[in-house]
Amino acid sequence: MGTAVGGERAVPRYVQIADEIVQQIRAGVLKPGDMVPSESELVDRYGVSGGTIRKAMAEVRASGLVETRHGKGSIVKDRPPVRHRSSDRFRRSHRRGGKAAYLAESAQSGATAKVSVLFIGPMEAPEDAARRLGVDVGAQVLARRRLYFRNGTPVETATSYLPWDVVKEIPELFAENPGGGGIYARLEDQGHEFAEFVETLQARPASKAEASELALSPGSAVVHLVREARTTEGRVVEVCDTLMAADQFVFEYRIPAVD
């Protein structure tokens, strides 16, 4: 417990140590790829117990700036700069220009984007996606699962679920590359005009498998986002279940001030 000083609680020593290490990383004293000093080195440097250093390193890992490799210790991450994820990403003008949302957003931030398709095919609708799509649980839907990279680093996974009666007559949606503008452009080509996109977000720690897929340290923060693509007829024609490395995204939204 911290000691009250001048009516305020003193900052715990492990927090002070963690803050100092984080500042060294952000200032470039510890560069991407550098090893963070070992526990014994930090014990000697700061004159504290191993338990205090372990608590400090837990705080440093929580910052998302380092990753721990078994048998090697903690290494400063070589992660690209944070990029914005904004309400502009679904503008129809992007699709008309032949760019899907992720590629359009990456281009605006000056990043090199890559999309790796992991799976495309029919599957039974999971409960949450079925509810949002208005179909029975287990009904056949088309699933498209992708892994997104930015400057060579995995930053996001996404699985789209689309109603079978909508997609069965759109062969491009079964292809790895659905064409310019992505799947939303192909849906609009077939008369499914979009009215809005509704997103629900939740921050949480990554599971072991999720951390591995996104090259994160165990327990790193992720953002779980689920998006519904709704047409002017009021139908949800896609549910996109997305998991993002939290340190890679700043969310920016425009909210109209209307009655």
Sign of the alpha-carbon torsion through 194, 173, 111, 220 = positive
pLDDT along the chain (259 residues), means of 10: 52 91 87 91 95 91 78 78 68 62 60 86 97 97 94 89 96 93 92 94 92 82 95 97 90 81
pLDDT for the residue 226: 97
Q: Which of 59, 76, 93 is the last residue of a domain?
A: 76
Q: What is the pLDDT of residue 3?
A: 44
Q: In this structure, are 72 and 86 located in the same domain?
A: no
What is the pLDDT at residue 181?
A: 85
Work out whether the CA dihedral 62, 29, 52, 72 comes out positive or negative.
positive
* Residue 20: both structure tokens together: 């100092």
Same domain membership, residue 191 and residue 102? yes
Residue 164, domain member (yes or no): yes
Q: What's the domain range around 177?
A: 82-252
Tally of structural domains, the chain: 2
DSSP 8-state class, residue 3: P
Closest CA relative to residue 157, chosen from 99, 237, 214, 217: 214
Closest CA to 58 of 217, 225, 247, 252: 217
pLDDT of residue 204: 94
Residue 248 has a pLDDT of: 84
pTM of this structure: 0.71
How many H helices and E strands in the chain?
9, 12
Q: Give the domain CATH number at 72.
A: 1.10.10.10
Closest C-alpha to 23, from 55, 63, 75, 70: 63
| pLDDT score, position 73 | 86
DSSP secondary structure letters along 31-74: -TTPBPPPHHHHHHHHT--HHHHHHHHHHHHHTTSEEEETTTEE
Per DSSP, 174 falls in state G
What one-letter code names the amino acid at 15? V
Distance CA 80, CA 32 (A): 10
Give me the residue label for tokens 């837990």.
58
Same domain membership, residue 125 and residue 218: yes
Residues 26 and 140 in one domain: no
45 domain-assigned: yes
